[in-house]
């Protein structure tokens, strides 16, 4: 008789991770639920939502009769995610905290905790995504050492695991998983891979998880929550007032509290202006934020972008790109953004040039350029 496999499920206190744990338990796995504490400060209403989320996750584990643990990565989150966010904002860039959190916390520290400390055979999350592996194959993966060279040897890992979109294309979260390491992906299960959000909610209701069904969908900064961004970021960065300047004629339209409170494409709140103006560029030397009078102003569109060194989930780099230094695929830099056809050119340092088939609005420095070929990231 085969041994029952031990799977550690990341529990957020939300409906998705709750149903993920439910499905694992029904499939006969030995499940342990773990809640991560990554941020403990009060929100703007004086409420620490972490405590409520932890309690909700614990209640689900009680209902499923599975062990429940808590683990704190507050220090790691601050140094590896939030400090980097602040540095990027000061550089005039707009980073993606959810991608950084998955890369550094959930699929690094948490993955190691699940496998090495709790002795799990695999970890699981409530992401809407799937891989090229069957569940049984997840438990057959052997540990491989990280690469010591710029690129992985493509013969080093046999049958690398691919990342695919989940069945619910509206909820697909592969964009947020586009920076996770191959080793963690090989040992991860996505129980919601073939389900829609509506079906997940139905399962939660039938299981009696009414306390998590009542919660609003999480839309804020990863593990911090939904905040007034300007007020929140000014708690950590000193105000650096500057001017809103018209991109068309250089007229000063008003003032702002700091370029890091604004991102390209957003509506600029300019006192005394009845018409809408939109951010099109930032100068962190002068503090000027350039604005345009229309949401689709030509200054907001670009068809070429260069990345920093690219992270390839599956192979490093893909064979076609390694052979010819060019590859056709699809591009997005925002979750749920329609895919745009593009051509990728590989540079010697591992970065890439991306030439888009059509101009894209508000290509924002600091965001992740997710290249999708076929249905694979």
Q: What is the pLDDT of residues 288-303, one digit of tens each?
A: 999 999 999 999 999 9
For residue 363, what pLDDT band results from cuts at 50, 70 and 90? Answer: very high
Q: Which residue has the higher pLDDT, 13 or 320?
A: 13
Active site residue 9: no
Question: pLDDT digit string (tens) for 139-158?
Answer: 987 655 555 555 555 445 56
CATH architecture type of domain 238-295:
Roll (2.30)
The packing angle between helices 15-26 and 49-64, to 10°, is: 20
Contacts of 174 (CB under 8 A, 6+ apart): 129, 163, 164, 165, 166, 370, 377
CATH class of 6-140+159-214: alpha beta
Distance CA 261, CA 92 (A): 9
Q: What is the pLDDT of residue 214?
A: 85
Task: Output the pLDDT for position 183.
Answer: 92
What is the rounded average pLDDT of the residues 219-241? 78
**The pLDDT of residue 217 is above 90:** no
Q: What are the CA-CA distances from residue 48 to residues 71, 84, 213 (Å)?
A: 17, 23, 19
**340 class by beta-carbon count within 10 Å (0-12 exposed, 13-18 middle, 19+ buried):** middle
Choose the catalytic residue: 9, 54, 222, 329.
222
As a whole number of angstroms, the distance between CA 2 and CA 21 comes to 21
Q: Cα–Cα distances in Å, from 269 out to 211, 253, 283?
A: 37, 11, 18
Full DSSP string of 164-225 = EE-S-TTT--GGGGTT--HHHHHTEE-TTTT--HHHHHHHHHHTT-HHHHTSPPP-SBTTTB
* pLDDT at residue 77 in the model: 95
Domain with CATH 2.40.30.10 in the chain: 302-372
**pLDDT at residue 2, rounded to an integer:** 56
pLDDT for 1 = 36
Res. 372 pLDDT band, cuts 50 70 90: confident
Average pLDDT over the chain, rounded to an integer = 89
Mean pLDDT for 204-230 is: 79
Q: Is the pLDDT of residue 43 over 80?
A: no
SS3 68: strand
Asked if pLDDT for residue 229 goes beyond 90, the answer is no
High-pLDDT (> 90) share of the chain, %: 74
**Nearest C-alpha neighbor of 127 from the set 201, 196, 191, 31:** 191
pLDDT tens digits for range 59-118: 999 999 999 999 999 999 999 999 999 999 999 999 999 999 999 999 999 999 999 999
Could you give the percent of the chain with pLDDT greater than 70? 89
CATH 3.40.50.620 range(s) for the chain read 6-140+159-214
Q: What is the pLDDT of residues 238-254, one digit of tens each?
A: 999 999 999 999 999 99
The one catalytic residue among 9, 101, 329, 342: 101
- Report the alpha-carbon distance of residue 366 to residue 377 in Å, rounded: 19
Contact 230, 78 (CB under 8 A): no
Report the alpha-carbon distance of residue 327 to residue 346 in Å, rounded.
9
Written as one string, the DSSP assignment of 81-107 is IIHHHHHHHHTT----HHHHHIIIIII
How many other C-beta atoms are found inside a 10 Å radius of the C-beta of residue 248? 12
| Separation of alpha carbons 223 and 55, rounded Å | 15
Per-residue confidence (pLDDT) for residue 375, from 0 to 100: 40
Residue 49 banded pLDDT, cuts 50, 70, 90: confident
Stretch 351-367: mean pLDDT: 95
User: What pLDDT score was predicted for residue 377?
Assistant: 38
Residue 227 above 80 pLDDT?
Answer: no
Element (H, E) at 253: strand 252-256
**Residues 265 and 279 sit within 8 Å (Cβ to Cβ):** yes
Q: What is the pLDDT of residue 155?
A: 46
For residue range 265-283, list pLDDT tens digits in order. 999 999 888 899 999 999 9
State the pLDDT at residue 163: 95
Asked whether residue 8 carries a pLDDT value surpassing 60, the answer given is yes
As beta bridge partners, residue 301 has: 361
Tell me whether residue 101 is one of the annotated catalytic residues.
yes
* Nearest CA among 190, 152, 185, 153 for reference residue 16: 190
CA atoms of 221 and 209, how far apart (whole Å): 25
**Contact (CB, 8 A) for 96 and 368:** yes
In the chain, residues under CATH classification 2.30.30.280 are 238-295
Ranges 180-184, 215-219, 319-323, most confident: 180-184
CATH 2.40.30.10 is held by the domain 302-372: yes
């Amino acid at each position: 008789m085969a041994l029952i496999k031990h799977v550690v499920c990341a529990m957020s206190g939300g409906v998705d991770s709750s149903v993920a744990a439910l499905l694992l338990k029904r499939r006969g796995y030995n499940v342990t639920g773990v809640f991560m504490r990554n941020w403990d400060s009060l929100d703007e209403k004086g409420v620490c939502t972490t405590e409520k989320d932890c309690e909700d996750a614990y209640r689900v584990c009680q209902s499923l009769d599975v062990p429940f643990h808590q683990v704190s990565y507050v220090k790691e989150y601050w140094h590896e995610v939030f400090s980097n966010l602040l540095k990027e904002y000061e550089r005039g860039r707009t980073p993606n905290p959810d991608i950084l959190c998955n890369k550094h916390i959930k699929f690094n520290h948490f993955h190691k905790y699940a496998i090495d400390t709790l002795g799990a055979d695999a970890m699981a999350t409530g992401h809407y995504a799937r891989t090229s592996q069957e569940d049984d194959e997840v438990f057959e993966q052997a540990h491989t050492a990280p690469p010591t060279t710029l690129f992985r040897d493509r013969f080093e890992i046999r049958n690398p695991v691919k990342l695919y979109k989940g069945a619910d294309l509206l909820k697909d979260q592969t964009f947020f998983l586009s920076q996770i390491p191959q080793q963690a992906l090989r040992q991860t299960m996505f129980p919601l891979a073939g389900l829609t959000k509506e079906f997940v909610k139905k399962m939660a209701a039938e299981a009696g998880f009414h306390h998590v069904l009542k919660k609003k969908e999480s839309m804020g900064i990863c593990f911090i929550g939904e905040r007034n961004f300007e007020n929140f970021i000014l708690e950590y960065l000193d105000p650096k007032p500057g001017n809103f300047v018209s991109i068309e004629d250089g007229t000063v339209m008003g003032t702002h509290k700091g370029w890091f409170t604004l991102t390209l494409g957003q509506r600029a709140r300019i006192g005394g202006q009845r018409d809408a103006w939109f951010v099109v560029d930032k100068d962190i030397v002068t503090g000027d934020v350039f604005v345009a009078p229309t949401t689709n102003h030509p200054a907001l569109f670009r068809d070429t972008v260069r990345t920093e060194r690219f992270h390839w989930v599956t192979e490093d780099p893909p064979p076609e790109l390694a052979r010819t230094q060019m590859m056709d695929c699809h591009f997005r830099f925002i979750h749920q953004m329609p895919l745009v056809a593009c051509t990728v050119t590989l540079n010697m340092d591992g970065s890439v040039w991306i030439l888009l088939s059509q101009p894209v609005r508000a290509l924002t420095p600091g965001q992740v350029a997710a290249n999708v070929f076929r249905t694979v990231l």
